[in-house]
Amino acid sequence: MDRADLRIAVLMGTKDGAPFIDEQLQSLLAQSHPLIDLWISDDGSVDGTVPIIEAWKSRWTKGRVTLVQGPREGFAANFRSMILDRRIDADFYAFSDQDDVWEPDRLESAVQWMQAFGAEPPLMFCSRTATMTETGSLAGHSPLFRRPPSFRNALVQSIAGGNTILLNRAARDLLARASARTGFVSHDWWAYLVVTGAGGVVHYDPRPLVRYRQHAANLVGANVSWAARVSRLGRLFKGEFADWTDLNLAGLAVNRDLLTPDAATCLDLFASGRQGSLFQRLRTLLVSGVYRQTLAGTLGLYLAFVLGRI
C-alpha cells in the first residue's frame, strides 16, 4: 500500500488544556502525512478545551475528529480507555498530549521506518524530544540514549514519552490485549514493556521530533534540568520507583503468556533479585542483564537495589 493511503489514528488525552491545545492541533494539521483521524478523550475539562475541540471538527481536513468522554480516573486510565476502544481502527496509532508541538515529519518519519517491516511483528517508534518553555522558547533536549531498546531496559526505564510513540496495528492489538487485563503506571512505559516483552521491535530516533512544553503542571516531566533529576532522585529514595515497579511486575505477571521465553526468564530473575540478601540481590541483578541507558543511570540502578528502593 502506498504510504499516503495509510491511516493514522492519533489518540489524544485532554483535561483543562485550553491555553495550549489550539497550537498542538495546528501542529497535527501541519503533519506531512495526509490521512490522520483524531480521537480525543476529554477527562472532565472545566475550561474552554471542549469548545476548542468542537470548533476544530469543521477545520480538520485530514480525516475525522471524534470527541469522547474520558473515565475521569487520571491520565493513565484515560489513555487505557482509548487503547481498549475497538471503534478506533487504523493502520497506525499515535499517542498525543494536549500541550506539545509536533515537528511536521513526526508521523511520516515513524511510518517510513515501519514500512521496512511486514505487518506481522509488533512495532513501536519513539524519539527524543526538545523542551520548550510555557511561551514556546527552546529550553533544551531530553537525554540522548545510545543503548538499544529492549525488555531488559524497559524493566527499569521508560526511554521515551508517549507523545513520541507510534504503534503499528499488531503492536496496538497486543497492547490492547495486555491492557484489558490490567491497569498501568503510564501508557508509554507500559507500551515499551509489552512490545519488547512480546518480541516486538522498538526504534528510538535520536532526532527531537516533538517539542515538549514545560509549565506549572508538568515542570519536571522532561528530565532535562537538574531540578527534574533531583526530583527523580528524591522519588527513588522515597520508594516511589519501587511502587511503580510493583505495578509493572503485577501487570506483566497477568500477561505472562504474551512474553517470549527469554523475557519471562529475565522477568523472573529481576523479580527475585528484589528479595534476599544484598549479595543475592546484586548477583541476580547482574545475571538478569537489566540496564539503564547511561552509566550513571545503571550505577543508580545498582544503588537502588542495594537500598531496596526498586
Residue labelled with grid coordinates 523542551? 131
Are 111 and 8 within 8 A, CB to CB? yes
Domain range list for the chain: 1-211, 224-305
* pLDDT confidence bin for 225, thresholds 50/70/90: very low
Exposure string (b/e) for 27-63, b if CB count within 10 Å is 16 or more?
A: bbeebebebbbbbbbbbebeeebbebbeebeeebebb
Higher pLDDT among residues 308 and 108, named by residue: 108
Three-class secondary structure of residue 202 per DSSP: strand
Q: What are phi and psi of 37, to 5 degrees?
A: -95, 135
Q: What is the pLDDT of residues 78-129, one digit of tens each?
A: 999 999 999 999 999 999 999 999 999 999 999 999 999 988 999 999 999 9
* pLDDT confidence bin for 229, thresholds 50/70/90: very low
CATH architecture, domain 1-211 = Alpha-Beta Complex (3.90)
Does the pLDDT at position 159 exceed 80? yes
| One-character DSSP codes across 151-196 | HHHHTT---S-GGG-EEEHHHHHHHHHHHTT---S-HHHHHHHHHH
Q: What is the pLDDT of residues 30-75, one digit of tens each?
A: 999 999 999 999 999 999 999 999 999 999 999 999 999 999 999 9
